[in-house]
Amino acid sequence: MYDVIIVGGGPAGLSAAIYASRARLKTLLIEKNGCGGKITITNLLENYPGFNGGVNGFELAVKLETQARGFGAEIIYDEVTSIKNKSVKKIMTKNSTYEAKTVIIASGTNLKKMNIQGEKAFIGRGISFCATCDAPFYRGKDVLVIGGGDSAVQEAIYLAKFAKNVTIVHRRNELRAVKILQDKMLSCSNISVIYNSVPKEIVGKDFIEKVIITNVKTNEVKSLKIDGVFVFIGFIPNNSFLADIAIDENRYIVTDENMKTSILGIFASGDIRKKQLRQVVTAAADGAQAAVSVQYYLENL
Ligand code: NAP
């Protein structure tokens, strides 16, 4: 029986594991893929405090995991399939069942797909969700970036170091990304933006040859000769293994400021949670708070 089981090994889950195991709680963290979550595919985190000049996401992930294990947290790789909420929580995974007095959900979000014709066929063969992983394949080529948020603009800036031309396609007439990223983007001569437009179809045989986009204001249809498409249109909360927990209209888990959910003994932290700012620094803070809330909860059982 664990004091706490943490679902998800991104910055929120790992920070929760650091705080919980350091507080001498018997702690198990269950991660589906590899620890670190989305930061493992981020080349440079420029705004995580304490790293002047930035830190590579994968390096930070390794440091977080090592720190959590160092304080005694157990970390296993498995996929949580459901959680049964009794006085003891039963956590079912693909391979086993675990019991805990409390649970911290830190399972983050999954990448949103475009759901257009040709997308399925070209994922991994010209459509990418990770510039850090795939930018070098597009040296001297023409790429499209879909989306207008921080991810799209930040990744477009990274891609511009490799590709000949980077074209951002954004559905509105202004970008959502923060000003500092937009200013950086403007200083890259090979990045351009097509506003008020959405992709309609990815066309090609063995490789992507062109992308059809539509102007949502004028309905004008354009065909762009493109070698690769990078998609950054946001995320969907990853909480399908949980029933009966309060969520908002976008499926994010509702918590109070101490990370308590609507279910006694179940806490949530990081990107999965309804909140304004989804950053590594807020994920880490959420994880710390969730672990402390678990401590208070266990002391008053
Ligand atoms: P996001 O902020 O949700 O932005 C998604 C973008 O994709 C928006 O511009 C949205 O358009 C567009 N979009 C959504 N659905 C679409 C669709 N079906 N078709 C076409 N376009 C679509 O996602 P994100 O940029 O990945 O950022 C997620 C979180 O991580 C944010 O909180 C962000 O601040 C944070 N982040 C921070 C940094 C950094 O600080 N350096 C870097 C990356 C991410 P609309 O604008 O019209 O909604």
**Positions of E strands within 71-112:** 74-77, 80-85, 89-93, 97-105, 109-111
Ligand 1 center from residue 274 Cα (angstroms): 15
Catalytic residues: 130, 133-134
pLDDT recorded at residue 195: 98
Q: For residue 176, which atom of ligand 1 is closest to its CA?
A: 46
Q: Which atom of ligand 1 is nearest to the CA of 170?
A: 21
Q: How far is the CA of 233 from the centre of ligand 1 (A)?
A: 5
Q: Please provide the DSSP assignment of 245-257 as one string.
A: --B-TTSPBP--T
Instruction: Name the residue ranges covered by the structural domains of the chain.
Output: 2-111+235-299, 119-231
pTM: 0.84
Note the pLDDT tens digit of each residue in 21-57. 999 999 999 999 999 998 998 888 988 999 999 999 9
Residue 226 has pLDDT above 90, yes or no: yes
Question: Distance between CA atoms of 301 and 293, rounded to whole angstroms?
Answer: 12
Buried b vs exposed e over 143-173: b needs ≥16 C-beta within 10 Å? bbbbbbbbbbbbbbbbbbebbebbbbbbeee
Q: Are 71 and 18 in contact (CB under 8 A)?
A: yes
Helix then strand count (H, E) for the chain reads 7, 17
Fold match flag (2-111+235-299 vs 119-231)? yes
Residue 124 pLDDT exceeds 90:
no
* pLDDT confidence of residue 13: 98
CATH architecture of 119-231: 3-Layer(bba) Sandwich (3.50)
Mean pLDDT of the 5-26 span: 98
- Give the contacts of 71 (CB within 8 A, at least 6 positions apart): 17, 18, 21, 22
Owner of token pair 């459901």: 82
Token digits of residue 226:
């493109």
Residue nearest to atom 7 of ligand 1 (CA): 233
Q: Which residue has the tokens 């705080």?
A: 19
- Confidence at residue 254, expressed as pLDDT on a 0 to 100 scale: 98
**Widest CA span of the chain, in angstroms?**
63
Q: Which of 61-70, 89-98, 121-130, 225-234 has the lowest mean pLDDT?
A: 121-130
Q: Which residues line ligand 1 (CB under 6 A)?
A: 47, 146-152, 154, 171-172, 176, 198, 232-234, 278-279
Q: How confident is the model at residue 89 (pLDDT cuts 50, 70, 90)?
A: very high
pLDDT of residue 44: 86
Res 36: pLDDT? 95
Nearest by Cα to 293 from 272, 253, 264, 252 = 264
Q: Whose CA is nearest to atom 48 of ligand 1?
A: 176
State the pLDDT at residue 75: 98
Q: What share of the chain in percent tops pLDDT 70?
A: 100
pLDDT in tens, 152-182: 999 999 999 999 999 999 999 999 999 999 9
Which residue owns the Cα nearest ligand 1 atom 13? Answer: 233
Average pLDDT, the chain: 96
Q: In a mutational test of the pocket of ligand 1, which residue from 44, 119, 145, 171 has the highest number of ligand atoms less than 8 Å from its CB?
A: 171
Share of the chain above pLDDT 90, in %: 93
Distance 110 CA to ligand 1 centre (A): 13
Architecture of the domain whose range is 2-111+235-299: 3-Layer(bba) Sandwich (3.50)
